[in-house]
Amino acid sequence: MTREKWIGHIAVFFTALIFGLNIPIAKSLMPEWLSPLATSSLRMCFAACAFWIASLFIPAERVSKKDLLLLFASSFFGIFLNQTSYIIGLSQTSPIDSSIIATSTPLLVMIIAFFALKEPITIKKSIGVFLGLTSSLYLIYYSQTHPEDAPSSSLKGNLFCFLGSILYATYLVMTRNVSGRYSPVTLMKWMFLFAAVCILPFTYKDLQSARIWTEVAPVDVYLRVLFVLFCATFMTYLLIPIGLKRIRPTTVGMYNYLQPLVATFVGIMVGQDHFSWDKLFTGLVIFYGVYLVTSSKSRADIEAEQSETSLKRKSSKNIPVFCKAEQEDSVNNLKNK
């Protein structure tokens, strides 16, 4: 694996890790301190300001009008609708259920990439996705049988979370090409600006009346809000383009399988769950599924192999007959030696 791909995998790994931690943390803030709409609005406004400030410290990049339209569409689906749908769903269902639904993202990415980017669905890739999906479902099912006071699930909340997964998968595919043309800061400053402009007309009342502004909250509440804003919004959306620039969207989507794994280990650390060999084995299978998808051939790999084979055939046809005879004699001599 090249250095660039290693950078991409590290970026996406930490993104999935933070997203996994964000599920229980964001859930703990709603609706007591922030409503779902206020949470989404606060995240988008904070990230827009943070990325525009960060852009002052890097070389300026001019974005073409065509790419601005693409960034607006990506922002609309991948940030505005995705974050709003998911946060509404999370507020109405359990973190466990939302983790289950998040594991559907790689399947959705694979299907969308097949139609939009003509990415092949190889047997190896299908097996990797299947292993990751089934292992994550088993892990979450196993975890559900142990917590003494599991949160109640909601069909409406689950549907919103699933809609969020579809939108996130669409976002990963839509931004695959544009991610290579601009820096992550340039991409995100425009996308979060568009998202903030889209959401504020619908959420400014929720944001204004949030309890976190009207009362003095405990310190840990402010720390949780800071994590959601800085780590789960600014840092993750800074890392996602870095990953998309270096690895395929299907592989990026595969890392969503780490989210339920993280949620389980966090539960063990805080005493809400316990260690078992089933969880360890399931975790290893999830990572093996990631490896299969990562090592499978992309469309570019297949096209490169076909091109190389075609060139070899052409060069072989152009070799004179006496040269071929000399080559055969040389081979025979080497074999005799």
Name the amino acid, one letter, at 22. Answer: N
Which sequence spans correspond to the domains of the chain? 3-297
pLDDT tens digits for range 197-223 = 999 998 888 888 889 888 888 999 999
Rounded CA separation 174/169 (Å): 9
Please report which confidence band the pLDDT of residue 243 belongs to, taking 50, 70 and 90 as the band edges: confident
pLDDT tens digits for range 276-331 = 676 667 767 766 776 777 666 656 555 555 566 666 666 655 555 444 455 455 44
Please report which confidence band the pLDDT of residue 108 belongs to, taking 50, 70 and 90 as the band edges: confident
Among candidates 168, 188, 160, 162, which has minimal Cα distance to 30? 160
Select the more confidently predicted residue: 221 or 113. 221
pLDDT at 148: 47
C-alpha angle 230-231-232 in degrees, rounded to nearest 5: 105
Other CB atoms within 10 A of residue 178 CB? 19
Strands (E), the chain: none
pLDDT at 48: 95
pTM of the shown model? 0.73
pLDDT tens digits for range 139-192 = 666 655 655 444 455 677 878 888 888 898 888 888 878 877 888 899 999 999
- Tell me what the pLDDT averaged over the chain comes to: 79
Rounded CA separation 111/253 (Å): 12
